[in-house]
Amino acid sequence: MKDIGGVVAAVRAAKRPMCVFDLDSTLMNTAPRNWRILQEAAHIYPALTPFVAKLTESDMGYTVTDDLRRVGCHDVDLLETLHEFWKTRFFTNEYVVCDRPYPGAVAYVRRIYEAGALIYYLSGRDEPGMGRGTRQSLDAHGFPLGERTILHIKPAFSMPDIDFKRAAFDDIERLGGTVVAVFENEPANANAFKERFPESAVFLIRTITSLNPSPLRSDVIPFTSFAEGR
């Protein structure tokens, strides 16, 4: 398979097809969530205001403190305060509903679903803090949810990512279907999927990544927008 446009046909041809989708920065743009938190912080800590004024929602990257540093905010105490403020909000039901699907993402996942695939949403979000908001948001935006879909998120916030990833791989394998395609934004995760499921097409959407991303395997296929899959 060369591009995300080939997935529907591959789903139709496969026995018990399934596709795996990461949420944050793959299907969902987290910029509105970060932006809302930053605006609220500026209300409470006015020293942030001149820096926030130099930013827009589309400037939101992986961490708000880095976004502020880029526009000249270097007050260590202020940045630390903001980080604490951000941490207590970002990973919550109330704020996760601010996320917006990337262009074409809903239509793309629906097309794969309607072609017969089981949709496996996989995310390091945690059930106690973000489960309700995640389901609410997927449903509100029109992503398939319910029958023939699985939402696999962390049972506890403190679960290490590596343990979570291993448990998810085992779970996917145990389902026994054909993993037709996997969609990720983090090179390290995409690479790990390709290693574990070499027969699957693994795609990497070029949105944002965590700091110091790993080099991408040459057999993982990068793409820029779900709109390409039309």
Q: Which stretch of DSSP H or E encloses residue 125?
A: strand 118-126
Q: Smaller CB distance to Mg ion: residue 134 or 178?
A: 134
Q: Which stretch binds Mg ion (CB under 5 A): 16-24, 43-51, 86-94, 199-207?
A: 16-24
3-class DSSP state for residue 18? strand
* Of residues 157-216, those binding Mg ion (CB under 5 A): 185
Q: How far is the CB of 185 from Mg ion (least distance, A)?
A: 4
The DSSP annotation for 159-206 comes to S-HHHHHHHHHHHHHHH-SEEEEEEES-HHHHHHHHHH-TTSEEEEE-
CA 21 and chain centroid, separation: 8
Assess 67 for contact with Mg ion (CB under 5 A). Answer: no
Q: How many CB atoms are located within 10 Å of the residue 228 CB? A: 13
| Residue 25 within binding range of Mg ion, rule CB under 5 A | yes
137 makes contact with Mg ion (CB under 5 A): no
Q: Which helix (H) or strand (E) holds 28?
A: strand 28-29
Identify which of residues 25 and 191 has a Cβ nearer to Mg ion in the complex: 25
Give yes or no for residue 24 binding Mg ion (CB under 5 A): yes
Q: Does 149 bind Mg ion (CB under 5 A)?
A: no
Q: How far apart are the first and last CA of the chain?
A: 15
> Which of 8, 11, 22, 226 contacts Mg ion by CB under 5 A?
22
Pick 51 or 102: Cβ nearer Mg ion: 102
- Interacting residue ranges for Mg ion, rule: CB under 5 A: 22, 24-26, 185
